[in-house]
Amino acid sequence: MSYDVSSLRKFVSPEIVFGAGSRKAVANFASNFGARKVLLVSDHGVQSAGWVAEIEQLLREAGLEYATFTGVSANPKVEEVMAGAELYRSAECDVIVAIGGGSPMDCAKGIGIVSAHGRNILEFEGVDTIRVPSPPLILIPTTAGTSADVSQFAIISDPQRRFKFSIISKAVVPDVSLIDPEVTETMDEFLTACTGVDALVHAIEAYVSTGSGPLTDSHALEAIRLISHHLEPLVQSPGDSYLREQIMLASMQAGLAFSNAILGAVHAMSHSLGGFLDLPHGLCNALLLEHVIAYNFSSAEGRFKRVAEAMGIDTRGMAAPAIKKALMERVILLKQTVGLEAKLASLGVRSSDIPSLSSYAMQDPCIVTNPRKSNQRDVEVVYEEAL
């Protein structure tokens, strides 16, 4: 019997505990991993919000020692990963806990890789480059959008190249994700919008990806539906705990979808843009989304129709061009409503930057699963349209 290996799909996921208060199980899980000393990774913003102190207290109450590393910037850099790994080594830690958005969580993944291999994080760029298991990793997301807590991606910024590179491996999927909507209550409206649109892009790109399949499609479509219904009200009423829970659930489902189906041109271009200008990842995605939809639509019309329906568009009787127009208008309206309607030029991108940005985007692994095959000129045109 013969079979087509290209039609096979795998699905990887951490152990997930979802719900208000789930963060309080952190010490129990660390103890289950036999922790003697925990490296707690976060950033100054999360520390100022009080969440780092709470996790430290939970560890102390359980009799666990810890060292705290908060030297993570908005886009985690190579030197920050290496500094965290040095603290992990010198403090003789054996379990890693991270609380924060995508930056601390990706940094924690990088620290684990470096600690296990004893090599520079730059050596692990690409797909399936990890050969030694990382230390036990527990992640607690404080934003609803990046989904680093459930994904097999780690995104690290290399200031030397002004480039964000991807590490993709099931070895960076955390052991445990404690997804607690309560910790997103300290997010401001801008961060709520950026991370919410990031999750929407995760879901859309996962659904139209060439790596999509039945194991990821249901997660992607439900995430699109949840975000389309709840993100705009949440930005207007950031204290609504029910809306926070729904967007956190959407972020989780979008993460499970893209981690396994991979992504597309929005993320390839966004990683290049974010590394070049050190911009928030969700904002970069937002600026590019409708332009990439326009580029990709003809290569996945049926799937984009279902995306439109998940966003609340009644497509009955509509031809493909009308669906494309309605979907792009819905995306643009959502962005305007949540305050993400800038153009690339207003953020400092010049026409002369586009060839370099496009070159890096073409090197990103996410471009491989984009539904429409692309060359560098294709990518340049999309950047130009978003300028």
Per residue in 113-128, pLDDT (tens digit) is 999 999 999 999 999 9
User: What does the pLDDT read at residue 343?
Assistant: 87
Q: Do β-strands 37-41 and 137-141 pair in parallel, antiparallel, or remain unpaired?
A: unpaired
CATH class of the domain defined by 9-184: alpha beta
Is there a contact between 37 and 136 (Cβ–Cβ < 8 Å)? no
What is residue 320's predicted lDDT score, i.e. its pLDDT?
Answer: 97
Judge contact between 339 and 235, C-beta under 8 A: yes
**So what's the pLDDT on residue 347?**
85
Residues 143, 59 contacting (CB under 8 angstroms): no
How far separated are the first and last CA of the chain, in Å rounded?
Answer: 52
pTM for this model (two decimals): 0.93
Give the Cα separation of 196 and 189 in Å (integer): 10
pLDDT of 63-114, one tens digit each? 999 999 999 998 899 999 999 999 999 999 999 999 999 999 999 999 999 9
What is d(CA 85, CA 166) in angstroms, rounded to the nearest whole number? 18
d(CA 21, CA 220): 26
SS3 assignment for the chain: CCCCHHHCCCCCCCEEEECCCHHHHHHHHHHHCCCCEEEEECCHHHHHCCHHHHHHHHHHHCCCEEEEECCCCCCCEHHHHHHHHHHHHHCCCCEEEEEECHHHHHHHHHHHHHHHHCCCHHHHCEECCCCCCCCCEEEEECCCCCCCCCCCEEEEEECCCCEEEEEECHHHCCCEEEECHHHHHHCCHHHHHHHHHHHHHHHHHHHHCCCCCHHHHHHHHHHHHHHHHHHHHHHHCCCCHHHHHHHHHHHHHHHHHHHHHCCCHHHHHHHHHHHHHCCCHHHHHHHHHHHHHHHHHHHCHHHHHHHHHHCCCCCCCCCHHHHHHHHHHHHHHHHHHHCCCCCHHHHCCCHHHHHHHHHHHHHCHHHHHCCCCCCHHHHHHHHHHHC
Mode of pairing for the β-strands spanning 153-158 and 95-100 = unpaired
- In the CATH scheme, what is the code of domain 188-386? 1.20.1090.10
Domain range summary for the chain, segments of one domain joined by +:
9-184, 188-386
pLDDT averaged per 10 residues, the chain (length 387): 65 95 97 97 96 98 98 94 98 98 96 97 94 96 93 92 89 97 92 94 97 96 98 95 96 96 95 84 91 97 98 97 97 94 87 94 93 95 94
